[in-house]
Amino acid sequence: MFKQDVRDKFKKHFNGEEGFVYASPGRINLIGEHTDYNGGFVFPGAVDKGMIAEIKPNGTDQVRAYAIDLKDYVEFGLREEDAPHTSWARYIFGVCREMAKRGIEVKGFDTAFSGDVPLGAGMSSSAALESTFAFAINELFGDNKIEKFELARVGQATEHNYCGVNCGIMDQFASIFGKEGQLIRLDCRSSEYRYFPFHPTGYKLVLVDSVVKHELASSAYNKRRESCENVVKVMQKEIDPKIEFLRDADLAMLNQVKDKISQEDYMRAEYVIEEIQRVLDVCAALEVDDYETVGKKMYETHHGMSKLYEVSCEELDFLNDIAKNCAVTGSRVMGGGFGGCTLNLVKDELYDLFVTKAVKEFTEKFGKSPKIYDVKISDGARRLD
């Protein structure tokens, strides 16, 4: 259990001291990709993989942080001008700053942390890190004054202001609000959410990691967001100034502005408008245990992400085709894209065949083996010890 490893390493690095231990998970998302920053719906759940950090206030104004997996140590102060250069440390620094901006008197602390959520696999290791520290700082220095949704916003603002990714709220929301056995449908415009029990009897959720490292910060993600915002601006001018997000639009409205936007922006918006509707369709299908419809929608999402939103890649399309050929119920690229995993809804009896075939054929074609993760829907941010 890697919690014990965190405890051991903390003790070793910080003179035998003991602190408090916090954990936050990564997430999956059944459907609703790139819809969060468009005011749409998402449908994530936290997973049984995440980050664990031991933390102890140290009575100074310095943070002393040890990244166990990277064997890297960084010290930084807590003022805006103290921002560290090391990228992993900027997540912790950003969370400290964002908590301070919300009135929490953040003081120095020692910390060691480690994770088992695969990096760059589209399962939100960065949100897991942010949520761990946001939750811990709220408890250790803030008397739990900041409510849970605002803790998620702290993580999101960290990405925007300290890490260069203009992400939506989904990942941090799922990491904070996750509940065992439940997916959460979040309306990203109103912030209303509803838990849906998810026990797909007879099926497994399987992640196949293409081991192509996605790099959200690599401006492609921000560019997708800009495309959506361009279309909204044109709709505001041409149709109705009250349109705030693509959530407020439909395909007829998109066609009304077709001549005023680029072909590329048109495709991006088409995908988003359809994807927002797919989340609602999947929720309705789940309520009657109609997994065939859930799976069909997942394939539609993959098609849209690959051909319209263009955030898939050869490896992910290949994995999606294997799923289709094996008659897997649903399969699609998950998360921001540009690499990472496909999420597959697989009938129990097909599991062995699919996994064997995916590993064999992918390895033959790309000369490297994909990784397989079976995930369990689990709890969100919490204190362990």
Q: Rounded to the nearest whole angstrom, what is the least distance from the CB of residue 164 to ligand GAF in the complex?
A: 12
Report the residue number, 208 or 343, with the smaller CB distance to ligand GAF. 343
Q: Rounded to the nearest whole angstrom, what is the least distance from the CB of residue 276 to ligand GAF in the complex?
A: 12
Binding site residues, ligand GAF, CB under 6 A = 33-34, 36-37, 124, 167-168, 170-171, 335-336
Q: Rounded to the nearest whole angstrom, what is the least distance from the CB of residue 342 to ligand GAF in the complex?
A: 14
* SS3 (DSSP) at 311: coil
Q: Rounded to the nearest whole angstrom, what is the least distance from the CB of residue 186 to ligand GAF in the complex?
A: 11
Report the residue number, 19 or 32, with the smaller CB distance to ligand GAF. 32
Catalytic residue (choose from 36, 171, 209, 317): 171
Report the residue number, 39 or 336, with the smaller CB distance to ligand GAF. 336
Report the residue number, 19 or 304, with the smaller CB distance to ligand GAF. 304
Report the residue number, 33 or 110, with the smaller CB distance to ligand GAF. 33
Of 32, 36, 44, 336, nearest to 189 (Cα)? Answer: 36
**Distant-in-sequence, close-in-space partners of 184: CB < 8 Å, separation ≥ 6:** 43, 44, 45, 173, 174, 177, 178, 193, 194, 195, 196
Q: Rounded to the nearest whole angstrom, what is the least distance from the CB of residue 299 to ligand GAF in the complex?
A: 17
User: Do residues 331 and 316 touch, judged by C-beta distance below 8 A?
Assistant: no
171 is catalytic: yes
The full 3-state SS of the chain, as one line of letters, equals CHHHHHHHHHHHHCCCCCCEEEEEEEEEECCCCCCHHHCCEECEEEEEEEEEEEEEECCCCEEEEEECCCCEEEEEECCHHHCCCCHHHHHHHHHHHHHHHCCCCCCCEEEEEEECCCCCCCCCHHHHHHHHHHHHHHHHHCCCCCCHHHHHHHHHHHHHHHHCCCCCCHHHHHHHHCECCEEEEEECCCCCEEEEECCCCCEEEEEEECCCCCCCCCCHHHHHHHHHHHHHHHHHHHCCCCCCCHHHCCHHHHHHCHHHCCHHHHHHHHHHHHHHHHHHHHHHHHHCCCHHHHHHHHHHHHHHHHHHCCCCCHHHHHHHHHHHHCCCCEEEECCCCCCCEEEEEEEHHHHHHHHHHHHHHHHHHHCCCCEEEECCECCCCEECC
Q: Rounded to the nearest whole angstrom, what is the least distance from the CB of residue 363 to ligand GAF in the complex?
A: 27
Report the residue number, 213 or 357, with the smaller CB distance to ligand GAF. 213
Q: Rounded to the nearest whole angstrom, what is the least distance from the CB of residue 247 to ligand GAF in the complex?
A: 14
CA 49 from chain center: how many Å?
12
Beta bridge partners of 54: 21, 112
Report the residue number, 124 or 378, with the smaller CB distance to ligand GAF. 124
Catalytic residues: 171
